[in-house]
């Protein structure tokens, strides 16, 4: 880490701006919403690479590092789903204040639950990205075999099958993963966010 | 952020080592334990400055950003205190994997609860620092007026008054804040951790 252009600070708490200056970026919360199988996590991981290779400091938050850790004591009932999203949004807010860009990949199926996350993060820092593919496409991918189980009734309340998915009404960006390649999807988001995360 | 010496990565998930390389540091979890009024948070904040000014990326986690945010739905009963520490340790682990040094400032009064945090973080990354001042000194400081309230019985289960504090048996470092100045305390920790957080 280079210390050039960093003014030493002694007499007050470090601010988000101090941290952003240190990391030579502006922090944002990218919120990727979409059906299971829409490609959210694959895109988030690819975008994390893309940002890293361009010198940005970013972190994916997804089921792999959240559900297995801090939210391991939550189930899939309505109240626990809300608490799941609340904690994720609070963690994204901590990272935001640390100057770090987070790439949050969660189905977050309802408008209400995404509004809730946005309220916690703050509207000016919350970038909603709709990762969209038709249900048939997501179901045909079925990487984890979850749709098959949901169709058999082995999983209840599965989004898209017996639980609704409400598409964002006004997302910052919509990515049609049945029409764009993975590289195109990543590049579209990268180009969209670059002016937002670049230091002036 | 300079991109020199960073190898582009395309075909796998970013690792903690990749992130540490980007930030030119190694990440650790510093766990500051001690009585209310011992100086934990003041030291953590000063150390955060010291690290920032030296080019390190560090983040204080303390009551101010944790209890008011992600842990705002927890009380002070035994079970909630355990859940409080569990979530903090999980967040510290997320930051650790993001390559970032955290300075955790929490009373965490028992050996059991600190062992619990250490288990979550991983022993090789967990640096326990005992911020120690005699109870009389902490009580005489009483910045927030909490000891007064505890003595009056207005607060129950207050550590050091009607709830025990178990000193660490084998901390990485012990800082006697009744004997060292704030600057000396910060410098002692900074010098101790520098070889641990410096990139080889």
In this prediction the ipTM stands at: 0.93
Q: List, in order, residues 6 or more apart from B63 with CB less than 8 Å away.
A: B41, B105, B106
Cβ proximity of B102 and A100 under 8 Å:
no
Q: What is the pTM of this model?
A: 0.94
- Which residue would you say has higher pLDDT here, B3 or A68? A68
Q: Where are the domains of chain B?
A: 16-133+165-191
For residue B63, which residues of chain A lie inside 8 Å, CB to CB?
A: none
Catalytic residue of the set A108, A124, A140, A163: A108
Residue B10 pLDDT class (50, 70, 90 cuts): low
pLDDT in tens, B82-98: 999 999 999 999 999 99
Give me the count of residues in chain A: 200
Contact between A1 and B91 using a beta-carbon 8 Å cutoff:
no
Query: Is A195 touching B (CB cutoff 8 A)?
Result: no
Percentage of chain A lying above the pLDDT 70 cut:
94
CATH number of A16-194: 3.40.50.300
Beta strand residue intervals within chain A, DSSP E: 29-33, 58-62, 101-105, 126-132, 173-176
Q: Which of A6, A65, A94 comes nearest B65 by C-beta?
A: A94
pLDDT of residue B3: 42
Query: Is B163 touching A (CB cutoff 8 A)?
Result: no
Question: A9-13, A66-70, A170-174, B32-36: which range is least confident on average?
Answer: A9-13
Average pLDDT of the residues in A75-79:
86
**Is B2 designated active site?**
no
Task: Let me know if domain B16-133+165-191 sits in CATH 3.40.50.300.
Answer: yes
pLDDT of residue B5: 45
How far apart are alpha carbons A19 and B182 in whole angstroms? 23
For residue B91, which residues of chain A lie inside 8 Å, CB to CB?
A: 70, 91, 94
What are the distances in angstroms from CA A160 to CA A76, A108, A135, A156? Answer: 15, 12, 7, 11
What one-character DSSP code corresponds to residue B157?
S
Measured over the CA atoms of residue A107, residue A109, residue A111 and residue A117, the dihedral's sign is negative
């Amino acid at each position: 880490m280079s210390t050039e252009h960093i003014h030493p600070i002694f007499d007050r708490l470090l601010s988000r701006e101090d941290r952003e200056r240190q990391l030579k970026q502006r922090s944002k919360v990218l919120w990727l919403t979409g059906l299971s199988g829409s490609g959210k996590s694959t895109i988030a991981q690819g975008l994390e690479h893309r940002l890293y290779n361009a010198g940005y400091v970013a972190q994916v938050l997804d089921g792999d590092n959240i559900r297995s850790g801090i939210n391991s004591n939550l189930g899939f009932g309505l109240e626990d789903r809300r608490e799941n999203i609340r904690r994720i949004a609070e963690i994204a807010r901590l990272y935001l204040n640390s100057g770090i860009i987070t790439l949050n990949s969660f189905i977050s199926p309802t408008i209400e639950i995404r509004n809730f996350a946005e309220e916690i993060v703050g509207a000016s820092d919350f970038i909603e990205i709709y990762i969209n593919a038709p249900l048939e496409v997501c179901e045909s991918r079925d990487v984890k075999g979850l749709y098959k189980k949901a169709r058999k009734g082995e999983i209840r309340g599965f989004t898209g099958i017996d639980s609704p998915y409400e598409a964002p009404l006004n997302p910052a960006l919509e990515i049609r993963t049945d029409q764009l390649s993975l590289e195109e999807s990543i590049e579209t988001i990268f180009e969209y966010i670059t002016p937002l995360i670049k230091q002036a």
